[in-house]
Each structure stands twice: as C-alpha cells, then as structure tokens.
Structure 1
Amino acid sequence: MARSETLLEEMYANLVIEDEEEEGIIVANQEIVVQKQTYVLVGKFLTDKNINFHAMQNVMAGLWRPNEGMEVHDLGGLRYSFVFYHKMDLQKVIDGGPWSFEHAMLIYHQLGDAEDPMTVKLQEVDMWVQVYDIPRGFLSESVLRSVGSSVGKYVKPDPATFEGMWKPYVRVRVSINVEKPLKRRLKIKREGDNWSWLNFKYERLGIFCFVCGIIGHSERECNVVYANPDKVIEKTYGTWLRAPSRNVKNNRGSRWLRNVNVGESA
C-alpha cells in the first residue's frame, strides 16, 4: 500500500510540473512600457571602512548636481549604482573625476546593457596628471600620448595645453590601474642628447601608500610593512605627488536625488 501511495505522489508531482511548464503569459505590444533611458555607473569606494549610505548619496549628488536628477542604490558587496537620466549629466561626472567620499576614492565603470553590475571589473580611475619639467620643444600631442601611456591608459590632453605661452606644467587625462603603484617620474630625451626627468602630480588624489605607492590604503595597512615588521621601510612616495586643488564644498545633494524620501533628506 505504501508503495502505491509513493507512485501516486510522484505521478501527481510530475503532472503539476508539466502544468507549470505549459503555462505562460503573452504580452501585447501596446502593453509594453517604454522606460526612460538611463545612464548607469557602478562603483565602489577604496576603503575598508563602512560607508554611511545616506550621507554618501547626498554628498555625491551635491558635488555632481545633475540637471535631470539621479538615483543611488546600494547593490551590496560594497558596490553602488549611480543612475543618471541624461547623458550629459553622466559625462560631466566622468570628465570631472576622480571623486572621493571621506577621503576614499570612488572607482567606477559605465554599465553596458548586457553587463552584470556585480561582476564588472572595478580597478581603474580616470585622473588628471600634471606633468612638470617638460623640455622645450617636446610639447606635442604625440609626446603627451607617450607620457600618458607610461602612467596608465592615455585618455586625452587638456585642450588648454597647446594654447598661450609657456606653462609650469601640462595636464594629461589618464586611466590609472588602482592595483598598481603610482608613477612618480619618467625619463625623456631627444635622440643623441642627455636624459631629463619629467615629474608627475595627481589631481584629487585620495589616500595612497607612501611605501608601495598604491591608491586606497596608507602605510599602516600596507602588506609590505606587515611582511617586514622588524625592518625600517623607506618611504619612496609622499604628499608631493598630490597636486594642489581647489576646495569643493560638500553641499547636501538631496535636491538632485530622485530616490530620497523627505525624512531621509532632513
């Protein structure tokens, strides 16, 4: 008797599964809702500290001030999505970086239609690099391209570089791998001549290690220091890699956020 009951249960379960597989919904074309196009950045902050989400989204919105508003979502896994409703608002953020919250640099990736926000690589950040001590006659886009490529991935020069008279430094936009040490300087020379040194400074440079030169931690958390606890480690990097920057007020940004409730913005 028990055997027959078991067989009946299995047959019933199979029938239920077959019924579920036969079911479906057909949606008419006129029922399809066309959503407004959005532009999404997925990012994370280079810090092991907890991020105050509500404070962070207000600060970032206050810095970016998108004309069409924005949304910020906590994706988990220390990742966040920043949703914009106009491509110019998105481009303004990309062109204006790097950005930081409480000294932790934000690294981000523009999300493609078929990309998973939880698996895209987050290891590069676009920065303006100030290049000092360029010898006279070396100021050309091809030379700056080679210089930028030695620092990271060359993006573009500052258009003002080739305008006006002599400048103490020129600016190059470079995509930098945050898992590699910052480049401090570079040798350059004309064929048959002596070497000269180009020196670099990085605009809006957040926390970085004076020992290993990697962005995102200080020497107190450096693996090199931990691996040599009884050894005095030479610091070959310093604050001189930071370019002077203008002070930016961290205004509260709730007026630009679409996904903030009244109670949250108070």
Structure 2
Amino acid sequence: MEPPPLLLPPEHPSSDAAHSNIPPPTMPPSSDIESDDDIFEVDEVTEDRLAQSWDLTLVGSILLGKPYCKQAVTEALIATWNTKFSVSSLYKDTYMFHFQHAMDMQNILGEGPWFVAGNLIILEKWVASRSWKFEVTDFWIQFHALPEEFMDLEIAAKLAKKVGTPWKVMLINGFRGGQQLCYLRARITLKILKPLKSSIMLKRRDGTQSIIEVRYERLPLTCF
C-alpha cells in the first residue's frame, strides 16, 4: 500500500531574469485637478465587487512559438481544460482567461503544465498591478533507478529540491498494464530559464555512487 502524499510548505523561488511580454508602464499626464468635482471616489462595496470578479481570472503567456489569435488559443485549450471559460487578448502572446467557478480555476492551476500547439503557456493569477513575470511553472517529475531502501518520501523531497521548489511528493509502487511501477514522484515549481536536470548522482557514506534518472511528465516541445 502506497503512503499518502507528503505536502510541503510553500516556498517562493527568486527569479534570475524576467520573461514577460508586458510593456513598461506609461506615465500619466500631469494633473489638472482643481476641485472635488474632478474626483471620482470608488466606494468599498464597488471595489470589493470588482475585485471578486477578477479573482476568477488567470493571465497566460505562451513561451516561444508563433503568435496565436484568440480563437486558436481557445480551441487549443477548450478540449484539454474541459471547463467553461472565456478568453481575451491582453498583450502579444499574453491572454486573460475568465472562469465561472473558483474550483475550475484552481484545477487548471494545479493540473498543468498546459500547451498551445506544443508550446508551454505559463499561467498566473490576475493582479491589479499587472506585475506578472511568467518565469516559473509547475511540473510533475519522477525519480527512477533508486535503490529500494531509498524509496522514501523524505528522500523524494530532498531530491526534488535539487530540481526546483517542491510542494508535494509521492511514492508510486504498484502495477499498470501488467508492468510493475516503482518510483518517487514530486510536484515542483521550475524556473523556466534554467536548464533542466536529467539526472542526479546519489553518493552513499560507503563511497558508492549511482545515478538517479529525472523524468518530466508532459514535457513540451520547447524544453526551455
């Protein structure tokens, strides 16, 4: 029987470089406000109502690839997401996705990565400051060729930290299609500008060494 997944406390990796299609902000024109009649003050109820409506919005940027129209992005994602959403263009290769239910949006964030014509689309939650960076994405990874005695959740967490920022680890031990499966699995946040690790060396106290294979589930055509 497999042990339950180990949930790890969230970490927020720092970024090395920006990857964003968002244009720099422009300076507002000089103010010519002369009286209270020139001021529109938004009440708290309206602020809260507007904020709640945008809480169901994700912003996505397509990594590399050719430019896509809104219809092409919608058609590429509607079958894989299997939920109701609307799409609107924001910037070049950057789109807003509006959902009807919070659970649908959370499922999309938690089940990625997602792709448009084989190109990775990086998703972030809407923020009013528009300070998205599109520098990280979440992946499931697997660790294979471990010695039997190292099939352990704490080992999985330590190995996952060698690849990215882990927040969930699992031990997979069972059968599928008559074939035995035995490996460690982790959900991690990856910096897309860093090269992917394909292996990790395991060094034991007696001096013996072995190579652990790192596999990435649903790796896109553009491997960063």
What TM-score does the superposition give when structure 1 sets the normalisation length? 0.61
Tell me if 1:55 matches 2:72. yes
SS in 2 for 1:167: strand
How many pairs are equivalent? 187
Percent identity of equivalent pairs = 25
SS in 1 for 2:150: coil
Note the C-alpha offset of 1:81: 1.5
Pairwise mapping of residues 102-117 of structure 1 onto structure 2 (< 5 A)? 102-112=117-127, 115-117=128-130
Note the C-alpha offset of 1:63: 1.3
Query: What is the CA–CA distance in structure 1 between the aligned matches of 2:46 and 2:160, rounded to whole Å?
Result: 51
Question: Which amino acid counterpart does residue 136 of structure 2 have in structure 1?
Answer: E
* Per-residue Cα deviation, 1:15-56 (whole angstroms, up to 9, x for no partner): x9635x544457788888945643222111112411132021
Pairwise mapping of residues 116-135 of structure 1 onto structure 2 (< 5 A)? 116-117=129-130, 119-135=131-147
* Per-residue Cα deviation, 1:92-139 (whole angstroms, up to 9, x for no partner): 112211111111011122234xx433x311011111112110111112
1:18 corresponds in structure 2 to 34
**Which residue among 111, 126, 139 is the counterpart of 2:151?**
139
Query: What is the CA–CA distance in structure 1 between the aligned matches of 2:102 and 2:136, rounded to whole Å?
Result: 21
* Per-residue Cα deviation, 1:235-260 (whole angstroms, up to 9, x for no partner): xxxxxxxxxxxxxxxxxxxxxxxxxx
Two-structure CA RMSD over aligned residues (Å): 2.8
Change (3 A) 1:33 1:204: closer
* Per-residue Cα deviation, 1:159-187 (whole angstroms, up to 9, x for no partner): xx256587343321111111010101001
Query: What is the CA–CA distance in structure 2 between the aligned matches of 1:97 and 1:61, rounded to whole Å?
Result: 14
User: Larger strand proportion, structure 1 or 2?
Assistant: 2
Gaps of 5+ in 1: 1-15, 209-213, 216-266
Query: What is the CA–CA distance in structure 2 between the aligned matches of 1:31 and 1:48, rounded to whole Å?
Result: 40
Pairwise mapping of residues 131-210 of structure 1 onto structure 2 (< 5 A)? 131-158=143-170, 161=171, 164=174, 167-208=181-222
Q: Is the 8 A contact 2:173 2:181 kept in 1?
A: no
SS in 1 for 2:71: helix
Change (3 A) 1:206 1:164: closer
Change (3 A) 1:74 1:134: same
Gaps of 5+ in 2: 1-31
What TM-score does the superposition give when structure 2 sets the normalisation length? 0.72
Query: What is the CA–CA distance in structure 2 between the aligned matches of 1:72 and 1:96, rounded to whole Å?
Result: 19
